[in-house]
Amino acid sequence: MAYLIHGARGSGSGIVEAVCAELGVEYRTHDLDARNDEHRKASYGALNPHHKMPALELPDGEVLTESAAIVLTLDERHRDGAILPPPGSKARAQALRWLLFCVTELYPIVEIMDYPQRFTEAEGVDAVRGRAHEIWRARWQVLEQNVTGSPYLLAEGFCATDLYISHLSRWDLPTDWRLEHLPKVAMLADAVGDRPRLAPVYARHFPA
């Protein structure tokens, strides 16, 4: 039986979709109409009470939310796919370090940039959005300085953290700015998008 990924094109569910594609496991996608807030309706709330994407239904019917939890679970279930370095290795420690940096330091800033009204009164919206953009770019530069591989994050080669970096770098980072200030990240994102199993996923989520 297949995994079922609930999400939307261009959203964080694309990371989970990319993991499944790279692993070569059977999966299906259920695209929600995020522009019309379908994910905020009660039907999706029954899967994820936090009303955020993605959610993953396992073949036995169990539901997982939180992309990092989903990725780690898929890695445990499909170790032969080596989507993350081996448990106990130095490479795995670094992969998890920067995966969680993406999840905790980058991902939350997107909501502030997109919906500053959730975090301030009307008169403060522009200031909050502007400051969030500054923090967003500064944190990307921290990540840029810690890319140790070429073209991927780690010298040991591709891993799931590269999927996070590649996906998130396509949000609110103008191409010219990314090329000038994040050349390693830009090279990584291109390399990930060109992987044979991932090219169709990126074409679906980020059409030219």
Q: What is the domain partition of the chain in residue ranges?
A: 3-83, 90-195
Q: What is the mean pLDDT of residues 182-189?
A: 98
Give the chain's mean pLDDT.
95
The CATH label, of 1.20.1050.10, 1.10.3720.10, 3.60.110.10, 1.10.10.10, for the domain at 90-195 is 1.20.1050.10
Instruction: Tell me what pLDDT residue 124 has.
Output: 95
Q: What is the mean pLDDT of residues 114-130?
A: 95
3-83 under CATH 3.40.630.10, yes or no? no
Angle separating helix axes 125-144 and 183-193, nearest 10 degrees: 80
Residue 1 has pLDDT above 80, yes or no: no
Range in 108-112, 140-144, 171-175 the model is least confident about: 171-175
The stretches of the chain forming alpha helices (DSSP H) are 13-23, 42-45, 67-77, 90-101, 107-114, 125-144, 160-168, 175-181, 183-193, 199-205
Contacts of 113 (CB under 8 A, 6+ apart): 129, 132, 133, 136, 172
Residue 87 has pLDDT above 80, yes or no: yes
Residue 37 has pLDDT above 90, yes or no: no
Q: Do domains 3-83 and 90-195 have the same CATH topology?
A: no
Percent of the chain with pLDDT over 90: 88
Residue 103 has pLDDT above 90, yes or no: yes
Q: What is the mean pLDDT of residues 26-30?
A: 97
Q: What is the mean pLDDT of residues 92-118?
A: 96
Q: What is the mean pLDDT of residues 81-104?
A: 97
Residue 35 has pLDDT above 90, yes or no: no
Q: What is the mean pLDDT of residues 160-189?
A: 96
Percent of the chain with pLDDT over 70: 100
Q: What is the mean pLDDT of residues 101-107?
A: 97
CA distances in angstroms from 40 to 44, 150, 164, listed in the order given: 7, 40, 24
**Six-digit token pair at 146?**
């810690």
C-alpha 166, offset from chain centre:
8
Q: What are phi and psi of 43, to 5 degrees?
A: -60, -40
Q: What is the mean pLDDT of residues 166-190?
A: 95
